[in-house]
Amino acid sequence: MRASLSATVSLVTLFAAFPYGAAAQDIFTTEDFRQDREHWTDPAYYRHNTASEMRRMGEDPESYGTTGTGVDGSREFTTPYPFATAWEHYQAWLEEADGGTQHTKDTIPDWSGLWEHARGTFSGGQNPMSSTVAMLTPQYQEYFIQDVRAEAQARPWWAGAFCLPGGFMSSVTNVDEFIITPEKVWTLASSVGVNYIRWIYTDGSGHSPEELQYPKWHGESIGFWDGDALIVHTNQVKGWLGGPSEYTVNLETVERYRRMGEIIEGEITLYDPEVFVRPYHATYNFTLETETRPEFRPLYVTCTDTNGPSQKVYLDENGFLNQRIPGEPLDWDATDSRPWSTFFDESDRRFQEYLEAGGTPHWE
CB atoms near residue 61 (< 10 Å)? 13
Q: Give strand pairing partners of 288.
A: 115
Q: How many residues does the chain have?
A: 364
Residue type, 211: E
Q: Which helix (H) or strand (E) holds 318?
A: none
Q: What is the pLDDT of residues 173-222, one digit of tens each?
A: 999 999 999 999 999 998 776 788 999 999 999 999 999 999 999 999 99
Instruction: Report whether 133 contacts 165 (CB < 8 A).
Output: no
Q: Where are the domains of the chain?
A: 30-74+134-155+304-356, 86-123+159-296
**Which architecture does CATH list for 86-123+159-296?**
Beta Barrel (2.40)
Q: What is the pLDDT of residues 320-335, one digit of tens each?
A: 877 765 544 444 455 6
- Lowest-confidence range among 90-104, 301-315, 348-362? 301-315
Does 336 have pLDDT greater than 80? Answer: no
Q: What is the pLDDT of residues 31-89, one digit of tens each?
A: 999 999 999 999 999 999 999 999 999 999 999 999 999 998 888 888 999 999 999 99
Closest alpha carbon to 173 in 208, 138, 123: 123
pLDDT for the residue 191: 77
Task: Give the list of residues 6+ apart from residue 155 with CB closer than 8 angstroms, or none.
Answer: 58, 319, 320, 321, 347, 351
